């Protein structure tokens, strides 16, 4: 485990959190990208809580069907999909202010967006299938960080580098909470209880990704650029 003393700030800090989990999906993403971590989130400190935002699955039983989520602590501790590694990154002060402003302004948009599985597959080979209304975790973070227009910024490590992020902690969830002096929000405990029967889970994945592909195709046909 490594860490540095966090810098004092007038406003609650905004971090990036990269992670890897011992799940089939996470292993496939890491294999495709050859990266240590496959998931990226934006972290706010609000009082004594860490609030974590990303694009990810909405239910444990439907890993490929998701959208904009506020991630609870249980996502990072559940034994069936235990997160094996976490890294926390500090952002430059001006970048933090911009992230706060963008997320506040665009949150209503994100609430209605889908998880962009086609872009996740393309991302593994260094390509993009971006959409204005469907995102991966990396696409979401690159947008709120303001680095999505920069050439060559596609995969997780490239987003961190373009944002000027500095790693300040690496370890597991308990150490992260000790480092920040705040506990991760624990309001998503129903995430693992919202299980669907297998046939409904498959149907949800197919329907969700058909909508995502439809949105991408419609935007391309209409000549609309991805969300900036």
Greater model confidence, 37 or 217: 37
pLDDT at position 5: 43
Q: How far apart are CA 44 and CA 213, in angstroms?
A: 31
Scanning the chain, the segments in alpha helix (DSSP H) are 24-33, 93-111, 117-123, 137-145, 156-162, 173-180, 198-222
pLDDT at position 14: 93
- Tell me the per-residue pLDDT of 153-180, one tens digit each, with 9 for 90 and over: 678 888 999 999 999 999 988 899 999 9
Contacts of 148 (CB under 8 A, 6+ apart): 130, 139, 142, 226, 228
What's the pTM?
A: 0.77
> By 3-state DSSP, what share of the chain in percent is helix, strand and coil, each rounded to 5?
40, 25, 35
In this structure, how many other beta carbons lie within 10 angstroms of the beta carbon of residue 82? Answer: 13
Q: Output the CA torsion 210→216→221→223 (10° steps).
A: 160
pLDDT at position 228: 44
- Tell me the per-residue pLDDT of 207-225, one tens digit each, with 9 for 90 and over: 666 666 666 666 655 555 4
Greater model confidence, 5 or 96: 96
Contacts of 141 (CB under 8 A, 6+ apart): 16, 40, 41, 42, 54, 159
Q: What are phi and psi of 52, to 5 degrees?
A: -115, 125
CATH number of 2-219: 3.90.1720.10
Contacts of 168 (CB under 8 A, 6+ apart): 3, 4, 6, 15, 88, 89, 90, 179
The mean pLDDT value for 135-141 works out to 90
Greater model confidence, 141 or 28: 141
The encoded tokens of residue 1 equal: 């485990």
* Triad 155, 109, 223: Cα angle to 5°: 70
The mean pLDDT value for 186-200 works out to 63
The mean pLDDT value for 26-52 works out to 79
Least confident of 2-16, 66-80, 95-109: 2-16
The encoded tokens of residue 118 equal: 């086609």
* Triad 104, 107, 111: Cα angle to 5°: 165
């Amino acid at each position: 485990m490594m860490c540095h003393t966090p810098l004092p700030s007038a406003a609650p800090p905004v971090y990036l959190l990269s992670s890897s989990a011992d799940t089939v999906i996470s292993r496939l993403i890491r294999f495709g990208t050859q990266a240590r971590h496959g998931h990226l989130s934006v972290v706010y400190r609000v009082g004594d809580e860490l609030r974590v935002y990303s694009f990810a699955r909405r239910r444990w039983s439907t890993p490929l069907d998701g959208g904009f989520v506020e991630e609870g602590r249980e996502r990072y501790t559940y034994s069936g999909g235990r997160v094996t590694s976490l890294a926390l990154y500090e952002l430059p002060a001006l970048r933090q202010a911009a992230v706060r402003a963008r997320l506040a302004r665009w949150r209503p948009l994100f609430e209605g967006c889908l998880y962009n599985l086609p872009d996740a597959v393309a991302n593994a080979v260094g390509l993009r299938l971006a959409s204005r209304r469907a995102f991966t975790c990396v696409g979401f973070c690159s947008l709120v960080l303001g680095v999505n227009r920069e050439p060559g910024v596609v995969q997780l490590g490239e987003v961190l580098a373009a944002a000027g992020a500095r790693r300040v902690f690496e370890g597991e969830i308990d150490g992260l909470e000790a480092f920040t002096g705040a506990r991760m929000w624990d309001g998503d405990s129903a995430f693992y209880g919202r299980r669907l029967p297998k046939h409904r889970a498959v149907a949800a994945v197919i329907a969700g990704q058909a909508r995502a592909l439809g949105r991408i195709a419609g935007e391309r046909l209409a000549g609309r650029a991805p969300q900036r």
